[in-house]
Chain A
Amino acid sequence: MKTVIVKYNAGNIRSVQFALERIGVNGIVTDNVEEIRSADKVIFPGVGEASTAMAYLKERKLDQVIKDLQQPVLGICLGMQLMCKHSEENDTECLGIFDSNVKKFESPVANLLKIPQIGWNNITNLHSVLFEHVPENSYMYFVHSYYAALGADTIAITNYVINYSSALQKDNFYGVQFHPEKSATAGSRIIENFLNI
């Protein structure tokens, strides 16, 4: 099996590669179109800012490449957000794979809500093969200021003052807002589930 991690101007690629290594999988980090197209599994990671990441993808025509992929694709954090329709982060048009928009957390009362959300939060209403043997209310590690709204593609819900999509799925495309590569054994299980699709 060939597992590719899409290389672009966003962080945490190393962490994803190490998480794969810990379960005995070699993740190839590449921005080569043919390598990506020929992979069995594609991981689209991301820590960074939406508009610069989208500009980078467009410049290398990776935006269309990702949209056209037929094999299972897993977006992580910013990767997931870029797979949505639109992000409020610098008013960015995204890939439009998931039927959700990305909005900024807003504190209902000053200082009630710390932004970014940093830490472990639980995932609920799990319904996807991605969560096989992952119990309801499992804790995952989140670091983000923007969130994907609930919608038809929501496969997991998390609450941070409001309920939002902590995971999305549309056909062969999967996305998680949290960092499975940093979420201890529960996160590792999700990565394994993705690789087993």
Chain B
Amino acid sequence: MLTKRIIPCLDIKDGRTVKGINFENIRDAGDPIELGALYAAQGADELVFLDITATNERRKTLSALVTEIARHVNIPFTVGGGIASVEDVSVLLQSGADKISVNTSAFKNPGLVDELSRQFGSQCIVLAIDTRFEGDDWYVYLNGGRVKTEVKAYDWAKEAVERGAGEILLTSMNNDGTKQGFALDITGKLAQNLNVPVIASGGAGTMEHFVDVFQTAQADAALAASIFHYKEIEIPTLKNYLYQQNINMRF
């Protein structure tokens, strides 16, 4: 039986791991390769690396880093952050990434999703959405959560899946950094209505939050960063706990 997945997320800046609290107040949490291999050894099911470097050198540094990650990490990993072209994706996949995630660039040019899935296959194209609940619904935000759009998260996710996105990585900005739990309503709406896996992100604070996102929202995978980086919850403990709650886990 297919298991639910636990995915630590490593934000990368200039080759180092960082984690933004509410997308701000960045703190250094170590070397991405070492940390990635450690998580893999502890039983993480996948890893996500989000590059937030904004310099001109970033593309070259990132592909070199991806090669080193692929060399040392024996589980699948996704690379995201500022990926905007077929060429970017091709370089990263050839460097050893298993999947790439696109966000703002795909929203601005939805045809990119079609092009990427046609060329590389849906299975390696993850659509990342940052979303915030405002008034009546969840809206898509761009540029790392700085730019609001008038498009609803569900509508964009549905369109992207039709265009060939193979997975959705949904981050709730309301929940991110709060440690008060995942956004169960919007995560559930996507997970139960789209026929691709949905990765829930933002808000994990306790092991119970993972139970909720898997059992209530029916997310396929859950992503978290700071609780793992600062060892507030250890992956083996979490997976054991979830297994005891009848959630299928890999050991």
Interface residues of A (CB under 8 A from B): 11-12, 14-15, 18-19, 21-22, 47-49, 107, 110-111, 113-122, 139, 141-145, 159-160, 179, 181-185, 187-188
Contacts and interface: CB of A to CB of B under 8 A. Distances in A.
Contacts of B5: 119-120
Given A47-B123, A119-B220, A19 B74 contact: yes
B195 A111 contact: yes
B147 interface: no
Given A119-B45, A119-B197, A121-B1, A47 B121 contact: yes
Contact of A118 (B40, B71, B123, B251): B123
Contacts of B220: 114, 118-119
Contact of A18 (B1, B96, B123): B96
Interface centre among A11, A117, A142, A179 (most CB of B within 10 A): A11
B198 to A, nearest CB: 9
B193 A14 contact: no
A183 B45 CA distance: 9
B74 A182 contact: yes
Contacts of B167: 118
A143 B74 contact: no
Contacts of A121: 1-3
A47 B1 contact: no
23 contacts: A11-B93, A11-B120, A11-B124, A12-B98, A14-B67, A14-B95, A47-B124, A111-B192, A111-B193, A114-B195, A114-B196, A114-B220, A115-B196, A118-B167, A119-B3, A119-B45, A119-B197, A120-B250, A143-B76, A182-B75, A183-B75, A184-B75, A187-B74
B250 A114 contact: no
A188 B74 contact: yes
A139 B250 contact: yes
A118 B75 CA distance: 13
Interface range, B side: 35 or more
B4 to A, nearest CB: 8
Given A118-B167, A159-B1, A107 B71 contact: no
Contact of A143 (B94, B120, B123, B196): B123
Interface in B66-119: 67, 70-72, 74-76, 93-96, 98
Nearest to A143: B123
B221 interface: yes
A67 B12 CA distance: 45
A119 to B, nearest CB: 5
Nearest to B118: A49
